Structure 1
C-alpha cells in the first residue's frame, strides 16, 4: 500500500487495522519505530504519509468510502478442528468479508491479497453477495504478492510479474490500471481466480523445495568431502536450474513457506491425492531434519553435553534484512539447545527481546537451560563455549574473530550455518570451525 501511494499520488490509500497500538506505530513521527523493519520502507512512508497514505483504526468508515478494498489479514495454520496443523485458518478473511459486506457503498472491488487456499474467493463472493441492500454490488479479484522480506520494496517497484485473477473484465482493468503506473504491461498476467490463488501456493512450495533439496546435498557434502557452495555454483550455471535459492543454510523460515506447503498438503489430501500430499510433506520434514541435525552436531562437538555451557546465538530473524522471526530456524535450534541444558546468549541487530520472549518463553532459568538477550556480539560471545551464526546479517561476516576468540572459553567452537565467515581467519584465531556443507 505504501508503494501504491508513492507511485500513485492521486490515489487515496487508507491502511486500517483494529490494533490501535500498531496504527499508532505507523503514525509515529519517529520512522525508526515503524512496526516492520524493511530496507527503504521508512523513506517511502515518510514521502507518502499525510499526503495520500493514511493509517487509521476507523475501519468501517474507510470501507464505506473505498472503491477498492484489499484483504491483507493473516491466514495462519489451523490449530484445532478439521485440517488442524495443515489447513489455513480463514476466520479473519471471513470476518473481513462480512465487515466489507456491511459497510461498503455502491460498487466495490474486493481484492484478495492474503495467501489463501484455492477457491477461497468463492467463500468471499458468497458472503459479499448475501447482502440485500439495494445499490450495493461487488467484484472479487485475486492479487497475490510475490515479494521477499528484506527486498520487498525493490520486489514491488521492479516485479518479475504482477498476477491478477478474476472473472469480470472491468474489475481486472481497474486494478491493472493502478499497476500500469510503474509496471510494464507485459509483466501483468491475467488468469482466472483459481489459477491465481494456486499460483501463490505453488511458487512458495517450489522455492521451499529448492531450499530443502540443497540442504540435503549439504549433508552429503559434509560426509564426502565436497563443498556445497561449489556444487551449488556448478549446478546453478545450468540455465535450466539457475542459481537462486541454492544457498544452503539452517532451513527456511518466515510466514509463508511452511504454512503454504502445509496448506498444499491439506488440499491434496482433501482431493484424495495422497501420494502428492506425501511428496510435498517431505519438503517440510527435511527442513525440520536440517535444524535438528545442526542441534545434534553442536551437542556432539561439545563432548555430548551442553549442561551449564554458554552458547552465543548470532541472529534470530529468519533471514537478514528483516525483523521477522516467524518460523525462524533459530527457534527450533535454540529450543533444542535449551533442552540440552545450554545457557544461550542471543544477539540480533533488529529483533527485540519481546519477540524472542514470545518464541522461547520467559528467560528465567528452568530445570533445563536458559536464555538471555545480548546487546552486542562481544557480550554474546564473552566466555562462551561456542558461537552459532544463524542469520546472515552483513555485520556477522566481518567479525574480528581474533578479538572474539580471546574472550571465549577454550576449546571454543564456531558453527557457521550460513557459510559467510572467512573460515581461515577464524581458525587462525584459535577457534574450531564447522561450516555447513563443507567436508
Structure 2
C-alpha cells in the first residue's frame, strides 16, 4: 500500500521506517530540509537503537523515501500525521497544536476520496473531532482515524514492529468502519503477530495515550513519595518496592525510585492533560496530577540538597561529576532531562560541574552551552570530589568502583537511580548515598 508519513521527527521517522519494513511503499515528508537530507542518506537524525538498520533496509528495498514536498503524498491511500505537540511557550501548560494544524492544512489540497488520515500525534481530547470537520469541509469522502502512538524512547523500533496494542478511534457509521478496515490492512503483519486491537470512538482514542502516561507518571511519583518517607524513617525504598511489587495488582514495573521522569512526553503530557481538564470544567478530576508533577520536580531539588550534604554544607568550587545527560538511557534526548536540570542547578550555585553521557553530550551542549562536558566517565570523574549517577546507562552501572576510585579526589557517590550495588561500592572504599535508602 502507498502510505505517507507527515512529520519525520522521532515518531515519524521510526514509523515510516517501520511501515516500509512491513512491506508498504512509504514517503516521509517534513519541512526541515536538513532532516530530509539526513534521512534520504539512510542516517537517523537522533539516536535510537535499531533505527539506522531499519532505514538502510527500507532505502535499499526502494520502499522508503523522504521528501520536503508535501505534494509527494498524492496517490497515497493512508496519511499518518506524526508531528510534535510541544507545550505552549509563555508558561502555558496546554499543548501547542500549531504543527498538527499545519500538517492537515498542507495535506488537504492533495487528499482524494476514500483516503484515510491517521493521526498519531498526542493531542488534547476534542482535537480529532475538530480536524475531522476540517477534512470533510475540503474532501467529504476522506476519513480521519485516531491511531495514538505508544513508543518508548530506546525501544521505539520494537514498539513499532511489535506493539503491545493498537488503538483506532473512528467516527460512527459505515465510513468510519471502512477507514478502520483499511488501517487493519496497513497493520496486517503486526495484527497477525498477536497485537491486540481496540477499536473505539475519537474521544477514547485521544484519551488513551495521556491516560497511560498519567498512570505511569503517577506510579513513578508514588514510589518517589515513598522514598521521601524512607529517608525520614530510615527505610529502604528498593526493598519496599520489591515487597509491594510482588502484589500482582501492583507489579514491579515503574516502581524504581530515584530522580524521577523527564523527556518530551510524560511531563508535558500530564500538564496538557490537566490544562484540557480545566478547559472542560472537570479540573478536579485530575487534581492529583499536580502532586504527581510536584513530587517529580522535588526529587531534583533533593538531589542538589543531598550533594550539598555530602560536600559538608557547600558545593561552591567543588568539582562534581555528573554521569548522564539524556533523560533516560538508550536515548540522546535531553528535553526536560532531570540529570541536566540538577547539573545546571549546581553550576548556578557555584559548583565546578562536569557532565558526560554516551550519546547525548552534543545535544546537551546545545541546550546548556555554559556547562562543562566530557566524552567519557573516566574523564568526567578525574579529580572529582563527588560523583552523581543520574542516568542509568548500562556502561555506568557496570563501572568498576575500584578503578574509578583511583581517578577521583574523594570517593563519594550519589546514586540518583538506585542502579548500583551499594555493597560493591562501599567495599571499594566509597561513601555511597542514594535517594530513599539508608
TM-score surpassing 0.5? yes
Q: How far off its partner does 1:406 sit?
A: 2.1
Residue aligning to 1:438: 437
Counterpart CA distance in 1 for 2:351 and 2:110 is 54
1:200-349 maps to which residues of 2 (within 5 A)?
Answer: 200-349=209-358
Contact 1:37 1:323 in 2 (8 A): yes
Match of 2:61 among 51, 63, 76: 51
Q: How far off its partner does 1:226 sit?
A: 2.0
Match of 1:67 among 40, 62, 77: 77
Counterpart CA distance in 2 for 1:52 and 1:254 is 34
CA deviation profile, 1:148-196 (whole Å, cap 9, x unmatched)? 1112222223222111110210000000122122324670110001100
Q: 1:61 to 1:274 in 2, by over 3 A?
A: closer
Q: How far off its partner does 1:314 sit?
A: 0.5
Q: How far off its partner does 1:359 sit?
A: 2.7
Residue aligning to 1:76: 86
Contact 1:100 1:128 in 2 (8 A): no
Counterpart CA distance in 2 for 1:186 and 1:338 is 47
Contact 2:361 2:375 in 1 (8 A): no
Counterpart CA distance in 2 for 1:299 and 1:137 is 64
Counterpart CA distance in 2 for 1:105 and 1:164 is 21
Contact 1:292 1:332 in 2 (8 A): no
Comparing 15-24 with 162-171, greater Cα deviation is found at: 15-24
Q: How far off its partner does 1:251 sit?
A: 0.6
Q: How far off its partner does 1:198 sit?
A: 0.7
Residue aligning to 1:152: 156
Counterpart CA distance in 2 for 1:245 and 1:395 is 21
Q: How far off its partner does 1:298 sit?
A: 0.8
Residue aligning to 1:4: 19
For the residue of structure 1 that corresponds to 2:61, the secondary structure is coil
Counterpart CA distance in 2 for 1:52 and 1:109 is 23
Residue aligning to 1:400: 400
Residue aligning to 2:36: 23
Residue aligning to 2:7: none
Q: How far off its partner does 1:55 sit?
A: 3.6
Counterpart CA distance in 2 for 1:296 and 1:358 is 27
Match of 1:118 among 121, 125, 132: 125
Counterpart CA distance in 2 for 1:123 and 1:358 is 37
Counterpart CA distance in 2 for 1:13 and 1:92 is 21
Counterpart CA distance in 1 for 2:65 and 2:372 is 35
Unaligned runs of at least 5 residues, structure 1? 364-370
Residue aligning to 2:360: 351
Does 2:104 correspond to 1:97?
yes
Counterpart CA distance in 1 for 2:33 and 2:348 is 37
Q: 1:295 to 1:53 in 2, by over 3 A?
A: farther
Counterpart CA distance in 2 for 1:53 and 1:171 is 23
Counterpart CA distance in 1 for 2:332 and 2:211 is 25
TM-score computed with the length of structure 2 as normaliser: 0.91
Counterpart CA distance in 2 for 1:52 and 1:282 is 50
For the residue of structure 2 that corresponds to 1:387, the secondary structure is strand
Residue aligning to 1:367: none
Comparing 144-153 with 183-192, greater Cα deviation is found at: 183-192
TM-score computed with the length of structure 1 as normaliser: 0.91
Counterpart CA distance in 2 for 1:28 and 1:219 is 49
Contact 2:327 2:338 in 1 (8 A): yes
1:101-180 maps to which residues of 2 (within 5 A)?
Answer: 101-131=108-138, 137-167=141-171, 168-180=176-188
1:418-433 maps to which residues of 2 (within 5 A)?
Answer: 418-433=417-432
For the residue of structure 2 that corresponds to 1:433, the secondary structure is strand
Counterpart CA distance in 1 for 2:233 and 2:63 is 55
Q: 1:51 to 1:409 in 2, by over 3 A?
A: same
Counterpart CA distance in 1 for 2:39 and 2:351 is 38
Contact 1:258 1:284 in 2 (8 A): yes
Contact 1:163 1:190 in 2 (8 A): yes
CA deviation profile, 1:2-42 (whole Å, cap 9, x unmatched)? 122112x2x2111111111112222335x5xx212222222
Contact 1:161 1:188 in 2 (8 A): yes
For the residue of structure 2 that corresponds to 1:332, the secondary structure is helix
Contact 1:313 1:345 in 2 (8 A): yes
Unaligned runs of at least 5 residues, structure 2? 1-15
Comparing 195-204 with 100-109, greater Cα deviation is found at: 100-109
**RMSD, aligned CA:** 1.7
